[in-house]
Structure 1
Amino acid sequence: MSKEWWKEAVVYQIYPQSFKDTNNDGIGDLNGIKEKLPYLKKLGIDVIWLNPIYQSPMVDNGYDISDYYAISPEFGTMSNFDALIFEAKKQGIKIILDLAVCATSSEHQWFLESKKSVDNPYSDYYIWRDAKPDGSEPNNWGSIFGGGSAWKWDENRKQYYLHLFATEMPDLNWANPKVRQEVYKNMRFWLDKGVAGFRLDSISLISKNQDFPDTPDVPEGEFGSPYFGASNGPHVHEYLQEMNREVLSQYDGLMTVGEATRTPVEKAVLYTDPVRKELNMIFQFDHMHVDYGEYGRYSDLRFKLSDLKKSMVQWQDKLHEHGWNSLYWNNHDQPRTVSRFGNDSEEFREKSAKMLATVLHFQQGTPFIFQGEEIGMTNANFNKIEEYRDLESHNMYQKFSDMGLPEEKVLTFLKYKSRDNARTPMQWDNTVNGGFSSYEPWISTNKNYSQINVASDLANSESIFYYYQKLIRLRKELPVMVDGEFTPVQMEDSAVFAYTRALNNEKLLIVGSFSDKRIRFELPTEFLDDPEIIMNNYDKAVQQNGVLYLRPYEAVVYRIK
């Protein structure tokens, strides 16, 4: 087995709570994932990335882990997990786990012990600091989830503990070698069970600046971003190299991807350059920031294609031969791609979903498909705050309301950007709750499930599903998709994203229109002489005298040899 099999792989992300419920409690489970393995095999994917399935009070939908060695009962048992690994292996599908080790749940035994006193064995497993002389927080860092300070006072210890996320998620102290060894021990436990690697949650935040400086330029009485002192901290690479040395390199052919919030491309090379022996790739967010507004991610702005292209091209260019890209449009923390970067109207949903898939999958890197993306699922379109389940969404609703923003505007922000957009149940068919569960789901099913579902896509040979299936198959057949050099084409075009991939004597031209109008696109000279078309989301490309006449959201891929 090649140690770099993950370069040729396509990953399918499963959000277990929302994938398939088999015991009718309204929550997806491990048996539901096992039941749908033949579907994933049909799609052609190689790897499943599972969002957290560990024991958790579910304050942050499983990222607040209270026991790293136990399966949360909502999802099933350890024997269910073992059966899933076994069945997936029979289908030729690997599984990687989501490991959240930046913070734990406040119900974790380590934290229950840590907060008892300043001199117990677990005292330094978390980040504790004294109050300022006036009793206030150690610095002005605010919680990433909104809702105020990133510090919480503990009356028993008479100290503050740090929580970059929810109050119930205290940050682990990675400066303590014992904490790191506990993490490595746990990783070995799951690797010995047969998982093929990890997605490491918020891994760029594990090393804090030990001076805990105030975030500058924050108005008096307000809280600033903790990224200032927590992102890409002083020892993060030292810790990851230790992790690689003690765990990752001890197992053959693992796949690792680190979530690296606020990591510019220059620093991404440090995480992903193979000679440094840290991670295979990272999730970066530059292209997720192109529609941010004055309040950050919660905005009602539409992106500019020029910004999107600039971001993606930069990552293709800077990581080429130095690291490896992860390719994604959406995940459990992001809105649905067809609603965000495409057009989710009845007229253009299918065409734009296929175009977006084309533009992404032909880039260099490992593609990640989020559940439902392969059938063009859309944003949730909730109209009331009561319909949302995400802690961050509720915190931001309260924050914006306290700022005096009109409720209509706040709900528009959530409708565009809430994490719940990705978390509505998988739409399997047109039966009750989209075939996800016969019981009321933990979060409402999107009302469009009777039109958008797996069953209807499987019955239609021209569906988004079969388009994704072909993209994945081509990746196995064309080495140029994996190893070819990426070169942008006509960067100044404000409606079209185009680039080439070249390897040896083979060259691909990928063209994707982001417009709902007809667009004129001049083909590069070398593609004028009747090249082969290997992908097109319309019946037949329209071209004449070296000009490609793109219809709304059209995607065309040419091949010359």
Structure 2
Amino acid sequence: MSEPPWWKTSVVYQIYPRSFCDTNGDGVGDLAGIRRHLDHLEWLGVDAIWLSPFYRSPMADFGYDISDYCDVDPLFGTLADFDALVEDAHDRGIRIIVDWVPNHTSDQHPWFVESRSGRDNPRRDWYLWRDPAPGGGPPNNWVAAFTGGPAWTYDDATGQYYLHSFLPAQPDLNWANPEVVEAMHDVLRFWLDRGVDGFRVDVVHLIGKAPDLPDDPEEYLPIPHSGLNHRPETHELLRGLRRLLDSYPGDRMMVGEVYLLDTTMVATYYGSGDELHLAFNFPPLYTPWDAERWRSQIEIVSRELDPIGAWPTWVLSNHDNKRHRTRYGGSEARARAAAVLLLGLRGTPFLYAGEELGLEDAVVPDDRVVDPGGRDGCRAPIPWEPAPPHGWAGADPWLPWPPEPGTRNVVSEREDPASILHLYRRLLAARRRSPSLREGDLSLIDAPPGVLAWRRAHQSGDERVLIVNFSAERVTMPPSGLSGLVEVASDGSGEGALFTGEVGPDQALLIDPGATAS
């Protein structure tokens, strides 16, 4: 049996650098703070880390508006800091994935400054400029994310509009221009040559656009930038990116943010194994704490991805959405059960920093709101120690702390073997032990209402069974020959004992059916 590529069997840990750890006292996390806590990630057992943007940026969208793709913003450190982080992570067996934003730059990027300087500038066509509509106003009816207004801004100096799918400070690149394609390939080469293992590609489905930029259908208008997506032009661009990554050794990869709430469409971005290695599938992220809804999502993913040989991803929280503990009602029992759900499904799980601590979103008062998209709560800083400033360098952090930082912090939870932090560590260790959890098949098992159960099986003969009780009632699994040892329980109860058939409210179990009591 050949070894699968690392990105199929890994657990990826997302770090939002501003919020991870500040080492220089300015209240903003930095690369040195990430490097300082690599020991935590190694102890926890993650395989790779994904870094949200750290590039030079005016920070209109907190780093997703890039003014230099090939340098580190001084807020986060230097290129030398990045190189040291890569080296230290690799020494620990942890791979590095960096965010890459190909759809748009900052309006302060030198490319756009040149493009804006005149209609005859050689870089004019690097962005999407159009004359006003015949009766005046924007060239079409496209809507921008965040603002909800037109996706076009008029430039008085040159008498044309430029396209921005997001903020006006984020002009869209013109990927129909071969010079843009080559320049962006050079960006990837820059980071690949520095040793990065892969890229998380921001809103990658938007880079290909219809040449005539037609109006969106009326039903798309309430959904910003939805009409720009799912263009055939994107797929050839992705194949070019894939060829570039495949030319490097070491299974370099890209996972795409394909923000389409339709798994059938998401599946097309894998191509025939020649486009994205992985694609984020967002419907599960918006699925409530409900067994039948989750069963449906698992069935849809299997139906759409299995026939084309595509490998799924699973995400419960990230920097753009409320943390799952907050979404699921604030219950730690549910947060613990959700950990078993995330780490037990077939595919690559992405774990957002702080989920291992059971964090909830911060309550952000009006005078501290900074994000144009309303995402501050999930971006609250990570508490490392019980006492203020919680392991940060001393200044008040850029956002308020999440609830109860004095107890929900790394030091306190690491000292408590019953904490959710130790639950995550046990689950990650179980994945490393079990080929079925890392790469095995998944089949659903009959279960009582409110309960989701499935079996993972590997060709080596290794098996695991997972049960998640989404209900507030104790349930008994139907007699089906299911037996074995409870390897991990979300609340810690019964671990190492034979499974009795009972599952507690909001409890989740990982069972080794081949094990017997010693």
Q: CA deviation at 1:238?
A: 0.4
Alignment-derived partner of residue 310 in structure 2? 323
> Residues 524, 315 of structure 1: CA spacing in aligned structure 2 closer, same or farther, 3 A cutoff?
farther
| 1:266 pairs with 2:222 | no
Higher mean C-alpha displacement, 3-12 vs 234-243: 3-12
After TM superposition, which residue ranges in structure 1, 4 or more long, deviate above 4 angstroms? none
Alignment-derived partner of residue 242 in structure 2? 244
Letter in 2 for 1:233: R
1:480-515 alpha-carbon deviations (Å, 9 max, x no partner): 112222122347x55222222122444322111223
| Distance in 2, Cα, partners of 1:537 & 1:307 | 21
Unaligned runs of at least 5 residues, structure 2: none
Letter in 2 for 1:430: P
Q: CA deviation at 1:451?
A: 2.1
Match of 2:488 among 531, 535, 549: 535
> Residues 550, 72 of structure 1: CA spacing in aligned structure 2 closer, same or farther, 3 A cutoff?
same
Q: CA deviation at 1:541?
A: 4.9
Alignment-derived partner of residue 113 in structure 2? 112
Contact 1:2 1:253 in 2 (8 A): no
Contact 2:11 2:46 in 1 (8 A): yes
| Distance in 2, Cα, partners of 1:455 & 1:33 | 16
Higher mean C-alpha displacement, 471-480 vs 311-320: 311-320
Q: CA deviation at 1:304?
A: 4.5
Contact 2:468 2:506 in 1 (8 A): yes
| Distance in 2, Cα, partners of 1:447 & 1:537 | 22
Q: CA deviation at 1:204?
A: 0.9
1:343-400 alpha-carbon deviations (Å, 9 max, x no partner): 42xxx41x22221010111111111111100010101133x3323221112xxxxxxx
Higher mean C-alpha displacement, 531-540 vs 438-447: 531-540
Alignment-derived partner of residue 486 in structure 1? 442
Give the total of aligned pairs: 509
Alignment-derived partner of residue 369 in structure 1? 351
Letter in 2 for 1:510: L
| Distance in 2, Cα, partners of 1:28 & 1:427 | 12
| Distance in 1, Cα, partners of 2:136 & 2:223 | 21
| 1:310 pairs with 2:296 | yes
> Residues 243, 263 of structure 1: CA spacing in aligned structure 2 closer, same or farther, 3 A cutoff?
farther
| 1:473 pairs with 2:429 | yes
Match of 2:367 among 371, 386, 405: 386
Q: CA deviation at 1:162?
A: 0.8
Unaligned runs of at least 5 residues, structure 1: 292-302, 394-418
Alignment-derived partner of residue 397 in structure 1? none
Contact 1:13 1:51 in 2 (8 A): yes
- Counterparts of 1:10-409 in structure 2, within 5 Å, are 10-217=11-218, 224-262=222-260, 264-272=262-270, 275-290=272-287, 304-320=290-306, 322-341=309-328, 343-344=329-330, 348-349=331-332, 351-382=333-364, 384-393=365-374
Higher mean C-alpha displacement, 263-272 vs 371-380: 263-272
1:206-225 alpha-carbon deviations (Å, 9 max, x no partner): 11122322222369xxx543
> Residues 228, 449 of structure 1: CA spacing in aligned structure 2 closer, same or farther, 3 A cutoff?
closer
Higher mean C-alpha displacement, 481-490 vs 371-380: 481-490
> Residues 227, 248 of structure 1: CA spacing in aligned structure 2 closer, same or farther, 3 A cutoff?
farther
| Distance in 2, Cα, partners of 1:47 & 1:83 | 16
* C-alpha RMSD of matched pairs (Å): 2.2
- Counterparts of 1:403-422 in structure 2, within 5 Å, are 419-422=375-378
Contact 1:428 1:455 in 2 (8 A): yes
The DSSP-based 3-state class of the residue aligned with 1:31 is: helix
Q: CA deviation at 1:160?
A: 0.8
> Residues 290, 247 of structure 1: CA spacing in aligned structure 2 closer, same or farther, 3 A cutoff?
closer
| Distance in 1, Cα, partners of 2:336 & 2:464 | 18
Letter in 1 for 2:32: N
Letter in 2 for 1:259: E
Alignment-derived partner of residue 514 in structure 1? 470
Letter in 2 for 1:438: G
| Distance in 2, Cα, partners of 1:476 & 1:549 | 27
- Percent of pairs with identical residues: 36
Q: CA deviation at 1:338?
A: 1.2
- Per the normalisation by structure 1, the TM-score is 0.86
Q: CA deviation at 1:2?
A: 5.2
Contact 1:3 1:254 in 2 (8 A): no
Contact 1:237 1:271 in 2 (8 A): yes
Q: CA deviation at 1:519?
A: 3.0
| Distance in 2, Cα, partners of 1:456 & 1:157 | 59
Higher mean C-alpha displacement, 551-560 vs 108-117: 551-560
Letter in 1 for 2:323: R
| Distance in 1, Cα, partners of 2:87 & 2:484 | 44
The DSSP-based 3-state class of the residue aligned with 1:432 is: coil
1:507-540 alpha-carbon deviations (Å, 9 max, x no partner): 322111223x22324245130xx42221112354
The DSSP-based 3-state class of the residue aligned with 2:431 is: helix
The DSSP-based 3-state class of the residue aligned with 1:288 is: helix
Alignment-derived partner of residue 452 in structure 2? 497
Letter in 1 for 2:443: T
